[in-house]
Structure 1
Amino acid sequence: MFETAELGRSISKKEFEAEVQDLRTELLGIQQDLRQCDFPVVIVMAGVDGAGKGTTVNSLNEWMDSRWIDNNAYVRHSDEESERPPYWRYWRDLPPKGKLGIFLSSWYSSPLLDNVYGTITKAEYDEKLDRIKAFEKTLADDGALILKFWMHLGKDEQKKRLKKLEKDELQSWRVNESDWNHWRLYDQFIDSAERLIMRTSKGHAPWSIVEGVDPRYASLTVAKQIRDAIVRHIELRKTQKEALAQLKAKQASEPEVDAGKANKDAPVEPLPYPTVLSSLDMSQKAEKAAYKTELKALQGRLNMLSRKASERGVSTVLVFEGSDAAGKGGNIRRITTALDARSYKVLPFAAPNDDERAHHYLWRFWRHMSRAGRMTIFDRSWYGRVLVERCEGFAREDEWRRAYGEIVDFEDQIVDHGTVLLKFWIHIDPDEQLARFKAREVTPWKQWKLTDEDWRNREKWALYEEAVNDLVEKTSTSNAPWTLVEGNDKKFARLKVLRSVCDALEARLAKK
């Protein structure tokens, strides 16, 4: 691969200055156009030590408006980062729509170095590269423009570059023993880099190999490719939006069901086939006296386990989903009552705000992954993409269908990091929901919980049940299985949830 690249290309200072003048104007104009667009630009800079990655990034920031560029460079994980899944710091730093994000020493660095130094097997290397492919595809499917540049130098040229930097009093700090170690391992680096590029250069996230002998040539080449790619992507997104607008116009011309005030007396139509929810035994109950005794015992057990988890740095993520009025809040309160208020956080999620809409839908959940030893409770979660957004038409079919794989990958990363992940679907049947709605109507401190939207959602019971059946089938994995909770009896549901949390924590702590 690198042997076939044209090496030694350069450009004179006069040619460089002549080209830069027009290029800067073009880049600034394109950057302003980008600010109005519905996609971010993710630029990955990688390559041989001394090949000019930093110099090129500095040029990009000089030629464009740096206020609309997010520059990100990574070294060893900080304590804050190491206590979370590895990709947390990359998700945290992703640029919003309309901006560029430049990543130095990005998600490629650790796998590459681990493979060069032999700390992972070839199979493990490929597995890490596959995770990168999934990450980049997730971003690209959401519209992101991903550009990746490998800045290359031959072995002899790299040696010359390092020696030249060492002799420069102002730049000698750039070279350390690690750079020379990498030079000695040049052949291993090139072998690993070729495998990395071949496995991860895809149409939605291609690699460009840029000769780095001449810094002027390298900077111009990268800047031109960025300019051209953004122009093409703007046109592509424009075409896609026009096609989508035509589809929506066609759908709008079709007869609509009256979306006015909900019919509270409308019967719930069951699905004509069995689902994971219809198979649940909803008659299960807990006797009042036994409930009080077991509740105290489970809360005491949870308190002790959560303290041990905190001491040992074991994090816990609890996800609560369920029908309206199913009792998610009541279950969460029975958990938090047993915990030290400093050790947990409850995060309720509704419609995304403007900042959240400017990012991939998983971004707002990634950024809430807690530090080691804490419990994070999600009252509704990333499953909104395949539930409410699917059923209410807020997400296109291609968006919610690919979300199953994105969610499984997200949860695998959480569990692989050592976090305890539990997902609860609290289920009640239509009759029980109606009874609870009626009770909320006449209970002053509960009336705020009941809205017309709840009644309208009830009319779509079959649609939601079908969506729940699909999400359980597609996202209940060995790493992150769903716990379906029979919720007609609140006491039974609370005990089952508490028991499940305690059992999972106990099993996880036994492995620590």
Structure 2
Amino acid sequence: MFEATKVGRSVSKQDYKEQQEELRTQLLEVQRELRHTNIPVIVLVTGMEAAGKGEVINRLNEWLDTRGVQTFAFWNESDEERERPRYWRFWRAMPQRGEISILFGGWYQTPIEHRFRGHCSDAELDGELNRIVDFERMLVQDGALIIKFWFHMSEADQKARLKELSRDDRSRWKMLPEKSKFSEHYAAFEQVAERVILHTDRGIAPWYLIEAGDRRYRDLTVGKTLLHALRSRLAENHTDEANGTPTSPELPASESAQITLLDQLDLDLTLPREDYKSELKQLQAELNELAWTAYTQQRSTVLVFEGMDAGGKGGAIRRITQAVDARLYRSIPVAAPSDEEKAHHYLWRFWRHIPRAGLMTIYDRSWYGRVLVERVEGFATVAEWRRAYSEINRFEEQLVDSGIVLLKFWIHISQDEQLQRFKDREAVPYKRYKITDEDWRNREKWPQYNEAVNEMIVRTSTRHATWTLIEGNDKLYARIKVLRTVCDTLNEALKGSVKPTAGYLPCGDKRIELLGSTGKPLISAAP
């Protein structure tokens, strides 16, 4: 498949000079237009070693307005990145809508190098590539434009370029260990690259194969391809705005759908106050020890709390934070997204707070807002919240695969109990801030929220991330059930040997990253 990248295309200095000026002008024009859209642009730059990927990135930063461009290189992982799921580092590099991120290697670099060096099998590589396809599809469905460049060259050209780079102290190649492997095993690397490209070349995010033997041809081809991709996407955006974005129709609800899992909860369950006090003291002491053990074993914990307004989420969270050393946890209250958060994929703001190894993050409301409040209040289209179930499941699977202990709680109360708590809040001065006009309005949509919650639980309670339903009419009972569930789960997770964190597993005397399991390539025309 790489024959078309070895034909020896070239561009003269004079032609390059003439074309570069016009190309740069057009790129700046289309970039200015991009700023006024909701389109984030992700440019992935990868390919053969010594093909000039760094040179191309520098050229793009020269041609474009750098105020709307950020460049990220994913070379050695920092301690922060190693202690989190692998995709955490990529989510941090996601551009805001209307801006461009250029990713050096991106999420392809590590899988390719690991397979080339024999650190994983073809089956493990394919598993990671499936995850990449899902990841890219999710970004595109959210409105992103992904442009993927693969730079290729003949074996003879690569050898000549590597010899040239060996004299450049700033080249990445010179800083890499085992440098000779790239030239000695050209065919093996090309075979891995072909497998990766064929597996991940999809219509929503196609590969552009760039012949990199001649620098001037390479740079112009990349610039023209980028310009064409941006113009095409902007034209589609104008069409969508003119016609209106279609949404999927709501499915009719049957009578049986009105009976939900929540209706099966026994909300009359109570716990005497004396029993509550003794159990609270015992469970909080146990949780304190478990939190320190998790820190020692470098096992992260993520707790998710959801529930109806006034359901008791805050009270349950306080009983947890009272037990855990403040240095070991962060509590994240989730409200309406900020302007910065709105400018990214909805999962972006939650990836930001994934804890480092050994620490705990508590989400007071979470990513489930997409299928709850955004669904019911119409802040998300039907298509957006329907596809969110699979996006959330894949997100949580990555957390668990990386070694994170994930617990999800839905604290449920009856409509009558909620009304009483609302009235109590209005009567107590220091609690009045908790009750708003929006809370009263939400009560009118209780049936819609009930239906949304039931579907959420059914579709996102998976083997790796089950929901724990909490009977919440009695606050004392609910708090103890939450604490007991957290303690029991951590006790089970911390037994025996230490599980891997951040997708790593000891392999001899090395640390090898585990690869998670979970149309036709485009070749740019000559300029």
Same-fold status (TM-score > 0.5)? yes
The alpha-carbon distance between structure 1 residues 172 and 199, as it changes in their structure 2 partners (threshold 3 A), is: closer
Residue in 2 that maps onto 1:34: 34
Which letter does structure 2 place at the counterpart of 1:327? G
Cα drift, residue 272 of structure 1: 6.8
Cα drift, residue 227 of structure 1: 0.6
Residue in 2 that maps onto 1:253: none
Superposition map of 1:259-270 within 5 A: none
Q: Deviations over 1:76-129 (max 9, x none)?
A: 211111011100010011111111110112110111111112211211111100
Superposition map of 1:338-349 within 5 A: 338-349=323-334
Cα drift, residue 407 of structure 1: 0.5
The alpha-carbon distance between structure 1 residues 3 and 404, as it changes in their structure 2 partners (threshold 3 A), is: same
Residue in 2 that maps onto 1:251: none
2:369 aligns to what SS in structure 1?
helix
Residue in 2 that maps onto 1:46: 46
1-structure distance, mates of 2:315, 2:176: 57
The alpha-carbon distance between structure 1 residues 496 and 438, as it changes in their structure 2 partners (threshold 3 A), is: same
Does residue 137 of structure 2 align to residue 137 of structure 1?
yes
1-structure distance, mates of 2:22, 2:417: 69
Of the three residues 427, 432, 442, the one matched with 2:427 is 442
Which letter does structure 2 place at the counterpart of 1:482? W
Which letter does structure 1 place at the counterpart of 2:192? S
Count of residues paired in the alignment: 491
Residue in 1 that maps onto 2:510: none
CA contact (8 A) 2:331 2:364 kept: yes
CA contact (8 A) 2:84 2:402 kept: yes
Which letter does structure 1 place at the counterpart of 2:343? A
2-structure distance, mates of 1:30, 1:161: 33
CA contact (8 A) 2:299 2:357 kept: yes
Of the three residues 264, 270, 273, the one matched with 1:279 is 264
List runs of 5+ in structure 1 lacking aligned partners. 249-269
CA contact (8 A) 2:49 2:173 kept: no
Which letter does structure 2 place at the counterpart of 1:297? Q
1-structure distance, mates of 2:230, 2:107: 22
Does residue 472 of structure 2 align to residue 484 of structure 1?
no
The alpha-carbon distance between structure 1 residues 280 and 172, as it changes in their structure 2 partners (threshold 3 A), is: closer
Cα drift, residue 171 of structure 1: 6.0
Which letter does structure 1 place at the counterpart of 2:158? Q
2-structure distance, mates of 1:134, 1:5: 28
The alpha-carbon distance between structure 1 residues 286 and 78, as it changes in their structure 2 partners (threshold 3 A), is: same
CA contact (8 A) 1:271 1:462 kept: no
CA contact (8 A) 1:210 1:222 kept: yes
Residue in 2 that maps onto 1:432: 417
Deviation larger for 118-127 or 493-502:
118-127
Q: Deviations over 1:129-151 (max 9, x none)?
A: 01111111111111110000000
List runs of 5+ in structure 2 lacking aligned partners. 249-254, 499-527
Cα drift, residue 177 of structure 1: 4.9
2-structure distance, mates of 1:415, 1:68: 35
Of the three residues 380, 385, 394, the one matched with 1:395 is 380
Cα drift, residue 176 of structure 1: 4.9
The alpha-carbon distance between structure 1 residues 486 and 161, as it changes in their structure 2 partners (threshold 3 A), is: same
1:107 aligns to what SS in structure 2?
helix
Deviation larger for 114-123 or 328-337:
114-123
TM superposition score normalised by structure 2: 0.90
1-structure distance, mates of 2:96, 2:383: 22
Residue in 2 that maps onto 1:190: 190
Of the three residues 374, 377, 386, the one matched with 2:371 is 386
The alpha-carbon distance between structure 1 residues 171 and 438, as it changes in their structure 2 partners (threshold 3 A), is: closer
1-structure distance, mates of 2:174, 2:11: 25
Cα drift, residue 164 of structure 1: 2.5
1-structure distance, mates of 2:289, 2:455: 36
Residue in 2 that maps onto 1:323: 308
2-structure distance, mates of 1:192, 1:171: 23
Residue in 2 that maps onto 1:60: 60
Residue in 1 that maps onto 2:159: 159
Does residue 496 of structure 2 align to residue 506 of structure 1?
no
CA contact (8 A) 1:420 1:505 kept: yes
The alpha-carbon distance between structure 1 residues 143 and 333, as it changes in their structure 2 partners (threshold 3 A), is: same
TM superposition score normalised by structure 1: 0.93
CA contact (8 A) 1:319 1:378 kept: yes
Q: Deviations over 1:23-59 (max 9, x none)?
A: 1111111111111111111000010001111111111
Q: Deviations over 1:304-333 (max 9, x none)?
A: 000111112111100000001100000000
Which letter does structure 2 place at the counterpart of 1:365? F
Cα drift, residue 168 of structure 1: 5.8
Of the three residues 353, 356, 362, the one matched with 1:368 is 353
The alpha-carbon distance between structure 1 residues 175 and 82, as it changes in their structure 2 partners (threshold 3 A), is: closer
2-structure distance, mates of 1:317, 1:141: 27
1-structure distance, mates of 2:456, 2:53: 43
Query: Relative CO higher for 1 or 2, CA cutoff 8 Å, sep ≥ 6?
Result: 2
Superposition map of 1:289-328 within 5 A: 289-328=274-313
2-structure distance, mates of 1:342, 1:396: 40
Does residue 460 of structure 2 align to residue 475 of structure 1?
yes
Q: Deviations over 1:212-231 (max 9, x none)?
A: 00011011001101111111
Identity %: 51
The alpha-carbon distance between structure 1 residues 175 and 157, as it changes in their structure 2 partners (threshold 3 A), is: farther
Cα drift, residue 3 of structure 1: 2.8
CA contact (8 A) 2:153 2:212 kept: yes
CA contact (8 A) 1:485 1:497 kept: yes
Deviation larger for 217-226 or 178-187:
178-187
The alpha-carbon distance between structure 1 residues 176 and 80, as it changes in their structure 2 partners (threshold 3 A), is: closer
Residue in 1 that maps onto 2:225: 225
